[in-house]
Amino acid sequence: MRSIISSEDNDRLDLFKVFPGFRRFLASRHHYAQLRTAGDLMFVLVLVSGFFGPSEARNNMAVFLTWGILWPIIVLSWFFVGRMWCGICPFPGLGLFLQRKGFTRARPVPRFLKRYGVYLSVFLFALIIWVEIVGGLDNSPQGTSWLILTIVLGSAILGILYAGQAWCRHLCPLGRISGAAATLAITEFRANHERCAGCTTFACQRGGDGKRGCPVYLGAYAVKNNLHCLVCGHCIPNCDRDSPQFLLRNPYSELIKNKGRYITSNYIVPFLIASQLARFFRQKEVFHQFARFCRSEALGFTIILLLAYIIVLTGVRLGNRLLGHQEASLFGRFSPMVPILIPMAFSGELVYRMAYMANGLGDFVPTVGRQINWHFLEYFTFSIPDFPIQIMSAFLMLNSSIAACYILWRFCLEQFEGTIKLRHFIFINLLISTFLFAYIYVIF
């Protein structure tokens, strides 16, 4: 319990010591190979079902399997194991297969990709969210399959051109949002630097004895945050010093320490909040009236999304000005309002995906039955009432707003002690409450 409450590094609990079997699982590469194979088979099922199965979502399992089961599970995993899903993600599977067969130029990642990859990946993520709604991907088996195939091919192309998993490190839009969300995780993968002292092989990064090194060019010794580490376990069998640790921590400790330095979070979080408000608002009757006025639901949603983004971005900038800290000599510009809002941003995504899951879960088994002509599965239909989901959603958003206030309080006590005026502190709390009320309004 102290590991969760305390933000001190010395109080963190190494779960590898508590559960040595978990460490052995990560170190044994065949276990991960089995998980990845299962993921690959599931993706093949989605692709085949989406492209060659029925065109209606109610008769095709691909849609709900992707948007109603897989994606909510990934979102939920962010809060507990960070980017561990990325370690078994099927997207880079084709690229890794081609690399093993020698179909790769294995060139170093270019400077352009290292420098501008974050902007490209955030743009791709925003495009996916927009296309998901405007193009109705969450109701289109073929559209869902095209999205998955596009990402697989993008990863494969970079796998052919560059060594390692360049797509995962620099361009993957889902990996980018997972990295931002992982800063909120209750666990972290780190090296014991006392044991790393004197190491000259850097095997955790480079590999050795026929074992692959870090697929995203880090190695345990270089992991300083949760943004990029896939928690894939490649470094564990390579390290002869037993340095890698899997630590239980205060989930807000990294947010408090980074103070909004992460470019990834600073771009993703405002858009994510805006998109959630727009996506929930799209389900209200007033939106349909607005869409009829615009004579296009796509145009109406685009306008609402842009307006929501402008409003959220204005709120973030206002909060930064009230905090009075946006630049420091040690690490340049930063946005302290972003880590304050991160709990609400990713809780909001969980709430949105959870609502989609609840809405379609009762019809999933009958959908499978309709697709394979087992009509007796229609008897397994059930429905989940909206009200309990709405109450749970409101509870999650309330807790995330309390977390935002906690992070602000810690900033005032530690990072910016004595520099934030009381009226500014009160106003920022009101700003957090405004975001909460906006969520509650669109959810209900």
Q: Is there a domain that residue 260 lies in?
A: no
Which pLDDT score is estimated for 106?
Answer: 81
Which pLDDT score is estimated for 29?
Answer: 77
Q: What is the pLDDT of residues 301-317, one digit of tens each?
A: 999 999 999 999 999 99
Q: Is there a domain that residue 271 lies in?
A: yes
Residues 279 and 363 in one domain: yes
Residues 167 and 125 in one domain: yes
Q: What is the pLDDT of residues 191-206, one digit of tens each?
A: 998 999 888 889 999 8
Contact in structure between 381 and 370 (CB atoms under 8 Å): no
Q: What is the pLDDT of residues 160-185, one digit of tens each?
A: 999 889 999 999 999 999 999 999 99
In three-state secondary structure terms, 165 is coil
Confidence of residue 7 (pLDDT cuts 50, 70, 90): low
Q: Is there a domain that residue 94 lies in?
A: yes
Contact in structure between 176 and 83 (CB atoms under 8 Å): no
Which pLDDT score is estimated for 330?
Answer: 46
Residue that terminates a domain, selected from 251, 281, 303: 251
pTM (predicted TM-score) = 0.92
Q: Is there a domain that residue 69 lies in?
A: yes
Residues 246 and 284 in one domain: no
Q: Is there a domain that residue 256 lies in?
A: no
Is pLDDT above 50 for 78? yes
Residues 208 and 354 in one domain: no
Q: How many folded domains does the chain comprise? A: 2
Contact in structure between 227 and 264 (CB atoms under 8 Å): yes
Q: Is there a domain that residue 433 lies in?
A: yes
Is pLDDT above 50 for 329? no
Residues 235 and 297 in one domain: no
Residues 167 and 20 in one domain: yes
Q: In the beta sheet, which residues pair with residue 190? A: 245
Q: What is the pLDDT of residues 116-159, one digit of tens each?
A: 999 999 999 999 999 999 999 989 999 999 999 999 999 999 99
| E-state strands within 302-390 | 327-328, 332-333
- What is the domain range of residue 77? 1-251
Residues 199 and 335 in one domain: no
Residue that terminates a domain, selected from 223, 251, 279: 251
Residues 223 and 299 in one domain: no
Which pLDDT score is estimated for 1?
Answer: 59
Residues 239 and 271 in one domain: no
Which pLDDT score is estimated for 131?
Answer: 94
Q: Give the CA diameter of the chain.
A: 68
Residues 151 and 246 in one domain: yes
Return the amino acid letter for 429: N
Mean pLDDT of all residues in 419-444: 93
Residues 158 and 214 in one domain: yes
Q: What is the DSSP letter of 245?
A: E
Residues 278 and 401 in one domain: yes
Name the residue among 147, 152, 150, 145 with its Cα closest to residue 130.
147
